[in-house]
Structure 1
Amino acid sequence: MSESQHETCVCVIDDDEGVRQALDSLLRSAGFTVHCFETPEAFLAADESDGAGCLILDIRLRGANGLDFQQELLASDNAVPVILMTGYGDIPMTVRGMKAGAVNFLAKPFADDDMLAAVAEALARSAERRAASRRGDGLRSSYASLTPREREVMALVTAGLMNKQIAGRLGLSEITVKIHRGNLMRKMQAQSLADLVRMAEALGARETSAARYGATTGG
């Protein structure tokens, strides 16, 4: 599924055919791609389950509990944003659903504008999540391109050590450390030391135990 399809793909799970038809008509009229399912099993069996931008999920389904299914999705690492809906909502249901990460909780009958607003918010969250995932993939790919020595230098640079300190610790000349440092900054596409520190934190590649050297070693 392309990125543009992700951004408009809305899946609906409701065992009421009338609700499915109404939501299909409403969402398509707003420009969304819509796939409707009667059961969670039918949703999971479809290709759209991995590509949905958001999921509109009824809580009370024949033979299934929507809140339980929401938990199953979380446990399976399917992070699709969920909009919960029910004609029998109560406070404990709402609390449980929202704690599990639901974007919104709509009581039937709901206003069309409320549903469209909830879908827009859910799709925005989905886009943010995919963008963050792409950034993480790119960061890991850049880190994988570093040589072992460049990784060592990166760990010590981001721990706060100066070039002279790194050279002494690794048994290198200061000019060699500078070369490694320049190469890794370029490969990581880091614009500044602060930028590189944030990357190292995200990767878990920062040598925190080395920070004490900065307090005892000159230059």
Structure 2
Amino acid sequence: MRVKGLAVQEKSLSSPLIRIVDDDNSVRVSLIDLFSSMDLNAVAYDSPKALLEADNLDTPGCIVLDVRFSGASGLDFQSDLQKAGNRMPIVVVTGHGDIPMTVRAMKAGAIDFLTKPFREQDLIDAVTGAIKRDETIRAQSQSRANIEKLWESLTPREVEVMNAVVNGYMNKQIAGQLGISMVTVKLHRSNLMKKMRARSVADLVKKAELLAQQPVNQLKN
């Protein structure tokens, strides 16, 4: 559960929220005070389990995560979030850091890895960077959702033509591949460009890459 008395009053649902996860009460109190002095919204939990039980992670922000807990480690929790597709930025802090631990945390997507005792400014810089990263991730996710709606309006044939266009094929080549006339290719191409709200082929390629989150030649129906 959320650690009582350690939550800064939330400004709004859209305000970035720093989730502190540390089993040391003195650390939790200290960090809450630090972030409060910077007018940052923060809440503290004494374990990853407490965070998951009380926080759905929908509110923008980041996680300041200790490594050592009884039971599963903070790094295991970080890996579980990554496997679940949750990309909430994490700043890892520990009093027992080593190179393998640092490498594992960074490979799993940690924004920074700080060893206790750390300078307050280093933590503030790391958290500020993490919040900005989260804003970028959420903006990209919303952009992808918008593009996905446009893509869903395409007909199966328009999807085939789009795949060919973003992979650099000319109208004549597309016509040969699909067994249709160039006039028909041009018609589908015009329609899909309008539906995708693409200003140019370059713009269409960018949207296809964001939509697919993988090489554009793997874009499927």
Question: Which category describes the TM-score, using the shorter chain as reference length?
Answer: 0.7 to 0.9
Which residue number in structure 1 is paired with residue 142 of structure 2?
A: 134
Question: Is the 8 Å Cα contact of residues 193 and 204 (structure 2) preserved in structure 1?
Answer: yes
| Bigger-Rg structure (1/2) | 1
Which residue number in structure 2 is paired with residue 118 of structure 1?
A: 126
The 3 A distance-change label for structure 1 pair 144 and 205 is farther
In structure 2, distance between residues paired with 1:162 and 1:96: 45
In structure 2, distance between residues paired with 1:201 and 1:104: 28
Shift of 1:171: 5.5
1:32 partnered with 2:40: yes
Q: Deviations over 1:33-62 (max 9, x none)?
A: 111101111100113434352110111223
In structure 2, distance between residues paired with 1:102 and 1:160: 36
Provide the TM-score with structure 2 as the length reference: 0.80
1:66 partnered with 2:39: no
Aligned AA for 1:84?
V
Structure 1 stretch displaced more, 174-183 or 7-16: 174-183
| 3-state DSSP of counterpart to 2:158 | helix
The 3 A distance-change label for structure 1 pair 108 and 201 is closer
Moved over 6 A (4+): none
Aligned AA for 1:132?
Q
Shift of 1:23: 0.7
Mind listing any 5+ residue stretches in structure 1 that lack a counterpart?
Answer: 209-219
Provide the TM-score with structure 1 as the length reference: 0.81
Identity among equivalent pairs (%)? 47
Shift of 1:6: 5.2
In structure 2, distance between residues paired with 1:112 and 1:40: 23
In structure 1, distance between residues paired with 2:70 and 2:87: 24
| 3-state DSSP of counterpart to 1:126 | helix
In structure 1, distance between residues paired with 2:175 and 2:80: 51
How many residues are treated as equivalent by the alignment? 205
Question: Is the 8 Å Cα contact of residues 7 and 123 (structure 1) preserved in structure 2?
Answer: no
Structure 1 stretch displaced more, 46-55 or 33-42: 46-55
The 3 A distance-change label for structure 1 pair 196 and 16 is same
Q: Deviations over 1:98-119 (max 9, x none)?
A: 2222111112222211110010
In structure 1, distance between residues paired with 2:93 and 2:167: 49
| 3-state DSSP of counterpart to 1:51 | coil
The CA RMSD over aligned residues, in Å, is 2.5
Question: Is the 8 Å Cα contact of residues 200 and 206 (structure 1) preserved in structure 2?
Answer: no
Which residue number in structure 1 is paired with residue 195 of structure 2?
A: 187
Question: Is the 8 Å Cα contact of residues 60 and 135 (structure 2) preserved in structure 1?
Answer: no
Which residue number in structure 2 is paired with residue 103 of structure 1?
A: 111
